[in-house]
Amino acid sequence: AMMARVKLKLAMRRWKTRKDAEKVRIKAEKLEAKRARRAAEEEQKQKERQEKIERKKARKAAKMEYAAAAMMARVKLKLAMRRWKTRKDAEKVRIKAEKLEAKRARRAAEEEQKQKERQEKIERKKARKA
């Protein structure tokens, strides 16, 4: 009976040790799972941060590109306006020159007509005297 009791005690101790080992293994697995989950969450957060930074950079680049394009457009517009103004001014000058030329030609024609009339008057006077 005593031997049986000793054997039972030893068996109980082995069983308790096995049970404790099982508990420790389960706890370790839970901790490992928790650690893995935290690491995955941290990695996800890091990825999101990086993506946010990339989006911000892309937005800034797009803004700069737009600003540069707008500036170029303004410069081109200014140059076009200057060319247009120059062309317009040149057109005005040409028209003015044409008007002046026409005026001069008309005056010359009038002057020639007056000269002719004076000459004819003199001719008639001479013809009357003769």
Question: pLDDT tens digits, residue range 70-97?
Answer: 999 999 999 999 888 898 888 999 999 9
* pLDDT (mean) for 29-35: 95
> pLDDT band for position 1 (50/70/90)?
confident
pLDDT, position 14: 85
Predicted confidence at residue 59, as pLDDT, reads 96
Mean pLDDT of the chain: 92
pLDDT value at 130 more than 80 = no
Please give the backbone phi and psi of residue 102, each rounded to the nearest 5 degrees, phi first.
-65, -45
| Residue 62: predicted pLDDT | 95
Answer whether 0.75 is exceeded by the pTM.
no
Q: Looking at residues 100-128, what average pLDDT do you find?
A: 93
d(CA 109, CA 101): 12
Separation of alpha carbons 28 and 18, rounded Å:
15
- Give the integer Cα–Cα distance in Å for 16 and 86: 104
